[in-house]
Copies of this chain bind each other. A is one copy, B any other.
C-alpha cells in the first residue's frame, strides 16, 4: 500500500461536510485499505471560521476556497456547498489545478452538468456525484455502470423526502396539506421556506440528472416539466383510494414509444397500491427503473440527511481516489444518443378528472362529447348526486362526475379539460391528476 496520503479538500462543512470529515477520521484505516493509500483532509473551506467544529484541526479551516482548490497538491475536492456560484467556479478551478471532484450539488449538475463534464474531460479528471440524487441510494452508479449494457426505457422516482413525508401523512392520517406540512417542518423534514421541495424544483433537478444518465443524452433543468403538490387535497386522496391508488410526487423520465425522443417531468400522480413505489413511506426515497433486459428494478433508501449523503460522497471519494492511484478516470458523461427532449404535451398519460356538474339529464352526454372531440377515450365514469349541494336554482342540484381516461397525449387531455371548463353545465373542475405506474 502506498504510504503517501491522497489529499482531500472539503468545500463546505455543514450537515453533510462535517459528517464527511468525521467519517474520514473515524474510518481512516478502512478507507486506506479500500483505496490502497491513506486519505488526508488537507483543508476545509467554510463561511464561518469561528464556529467550533469537533474533530477538525482548526489549522485546516480556511475562508478562502479558491486558494484551497488552487494549491496544486489537492487530489480530490469534495464540494458540498450547494448552489450555482461559487461552486461552479471552484469545481472548474479544481479540475484546472489537478484535482478530481466529488459533488453533492444537484442544482448545479442539473443546470450545467454538460459544461462541468466537458471541463473534467478536458483536464482528465473525474466528476462523481452519487450524492446529488436520492442521498445514500446507489443510483447513478447502477444506472451508469450496472445497466451500461441494457436499454433503460423509464425511470419513475420518489426523489424528494419532504414531499413524500407530507403526502404519506395526508394519506395515512387524513390530514390536509397545511397540517402535514406543519408536522414536517416541526420534525425538521421541511425547511422554513419549503418552496424548493413542495413546488417540485428539487425533484426536477434530480429528474434532469437521472434522465440524462438513463438515456445517454443531455437533459437540462429547463427541459423538465414541473408541477408542485401544494394543491393536493384530502378529497384527492379519497378519490385515489376509490381507485385502489395512493398519491405520490413522482419524477418520471421516459423514452417515447418510437425511441426518438425522451421526456422528463415532475408532478403529483395517482399510483396503484400494488406498485412497489406505493409502499415507500415517510421521508424515504425510491427509484423504479424499467429496462429492456433487466426488467423492473427498484432502489430504496433514505434520500437526504447528513449521514446518508456523506455515505454517498465517501463511496465516490473511494472510487475517485482509486482512479487517481491507477492513473485512470471513471466513466464520464455519456450523451452520445443526443435525443431531443419533448414537451409535456407529447407525453402519453392518463387523467383522473373530478368535475362538479349540474345534476340534470344530458350532462354526461355533453361531457362525453367533449372527450370524443379531443380524441380522448374514457376508461370509467362515476356519477354521484350531491344532496349537500342542492340549491334552489331551477336547474336542480349538483352532481359530481369522476372521469378516468385511457392513455392519450397530455395536450389532448389538457385541451379536453379546458373545453369542459367552458360548458355551462360544468360548475367547476374540482381536481385533475395524472394516473401512473400501471
Contact = CB atoms under 8 A, between A and B. Distances in A.
A301 B336 CA distance: 28
Contacts of A286: 298
A286 B298 CA distance: 9
A130 interface: yes
Contact of A297 (B147, B150, B301): B301
B138 A146 contact: yes
A362 interface: no
Given A297-B301, A299-B299, A145 B336 contact: no
Interface of A: 19, 23, 27, 30-31, 33-34, 130, 136-138, 141-142, 145-151, 216, 276, 279, 286, 291-302, 305, 307-308, 310-319, 322-323, 326-329, 331, 334, 336-337
18 contacts: A23-B293, A30-B151, A30-B216, A34-B334, A34-B336, A130-B146, A141-B146, A145-B319, A149-B311, A149-B315, A149-B316, A149-B317, A292-B307, A293-B307, A294-B302, A295-B307, A298-B298, A322-B331
A318 B151 CA distance: 13
B301 A295 contact: yes
A58 to B, nearest CB: 25
A258 to B, nearest CB: 17
Nearest to A137: B297
Given A150-B315, A151-B30, A295 B291 contact: no
A315 to B, nearest CB: 4
Contacts of A313: 149
A52 B257 CA distance: 32
Contacts of A323: 328
Nearest to A143: B138
A150 B308 CA distance: 9
Given A142-B141, A298-B300, A149 B31 contact: yes
A145 B315 contact: yes
